[in-house]
């Protein structure tokens, strides 16, 4: 087990949801500010409105039935991180942004994944959940579907043998940005409704996804409206996990004016720009 010197990270818990472009722009704006030494390493928890499909950086938008997504009121945004499509709804999303030399994220991709996954596991266990990490040798097959939650990859979080929390990471411009999705409630298979699939393939994938992935409510064996899966309660438990596992003081803070201005520019020029969204 690694021992870290004490450090203070900024903590941002956003009770009010934001749009997909705003959430992705804010994550990147924070990371860029961290790289420039203008902001401290930041742990952020947030939600989405409207429900939004986020595409992996290199994923083809042709895998999404855009008409079906529009009919359901879903937004579509492209992440800067890798992986496959996620439908962000009824969930808690976390992000960690830090300068690349921060000890808790330095090294290779898998080094940071392992450290942050350890913190997430401790946080989930604070909720009474027996959470685990997928093994270091777990790799997504080349024939995996467009759905990110179909199978776990290395160090992603599982509960009861099913994938629970998936993450993706970007390492560039002297920063590390990792964010991940924790479905709290609802139907984990809703994404299938907006994937471009033949009916038989969609039915099979729906069955597989229901078997291989689950929500926090399902993992805890509670109803969707149970207090155990309340957004703020879960966020506080995860903060405790980060604090204890990574020897952190998580100090509540807010986005800076510079971060908000940078995010506004990123929304206009990138995340809400159809050329970016449709770039693959």
Catalytic annotation, residues? 148
Give burial (CB, 10 Å; 0-12/13-18/19+) of 199. exposed
CB of 134 closer than 8 Å to CB of 149: no
At 278 the three-state DSSP class reads coil
CA–CA distance, 224 with 227 (Å, rounded to integer)? 9
Q: At what angle do helices 231-245 and 109-125 cross, to 10 degrees?
A: 120
CA–CA distance, 234 with 254 (Å, rounded to integer)? 20
CB of 4 closer than 8 Å to CB of 104: yes
Give burial (CB, 10 Å; 0-12/13-18/19+) of 7. middle
């Amino acid at each position: 087990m690694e021992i870290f010197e004490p450090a203070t990270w900024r903590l941002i818990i956003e009770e009010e949801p934001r749009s997909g472009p705003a959430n992705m722009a804010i994550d990147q704006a924070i990371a860029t500010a961290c790289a420039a030494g203008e902001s401290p390493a930041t742990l952020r928890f947030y939600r989405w409105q409207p429900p939004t499909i986020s595409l992996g950086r290199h994923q083809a938008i042709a895998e999404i039935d855009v008409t079906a997504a529009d009919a359901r009121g879903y937004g579509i945004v492209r992440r800067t991180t890798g992986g496959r499509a996620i439908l962000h709804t009824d969930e808690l999303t976390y992000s960690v942004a830090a300068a690349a030399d921060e000890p808790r994220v330095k090294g290779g991709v898998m080094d940071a994944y392992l450290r942050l996954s350890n913190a997430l596991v401790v946080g989930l266990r604070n909720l009474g959940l027996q959470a685990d990490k997928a093994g270091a040798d777990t790799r997504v097959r080349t024939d995996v579907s467009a759905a990110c939650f179909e199978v776990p990859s290395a160090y992603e979080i599982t509960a009861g043998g099913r994938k629970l929390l998936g993450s993706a990471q970007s390492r560039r411009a002297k920063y590390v940005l990792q964010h991940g999705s924790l479905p709290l409630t609802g139907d984990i298979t809703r994404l299938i409704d907006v994937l471009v699939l033949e009916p038989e393939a969609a039915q099979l994938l729906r069955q597989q996804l229901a078997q291989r992935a689950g929500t926090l409510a399902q993992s805890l064996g509670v109803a969707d409206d149970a207090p155990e899966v309340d957004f703020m309660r879960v966020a506080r438990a995860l903060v405790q996990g980060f604090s204890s596992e990574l020897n952190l003081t998580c100090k509540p803070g807010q986005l800076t004016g510079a971060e908000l201005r940078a995010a506004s520019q990123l929304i206009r020029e990138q995340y809400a720009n159809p050329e970016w969204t449709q770039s693959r």
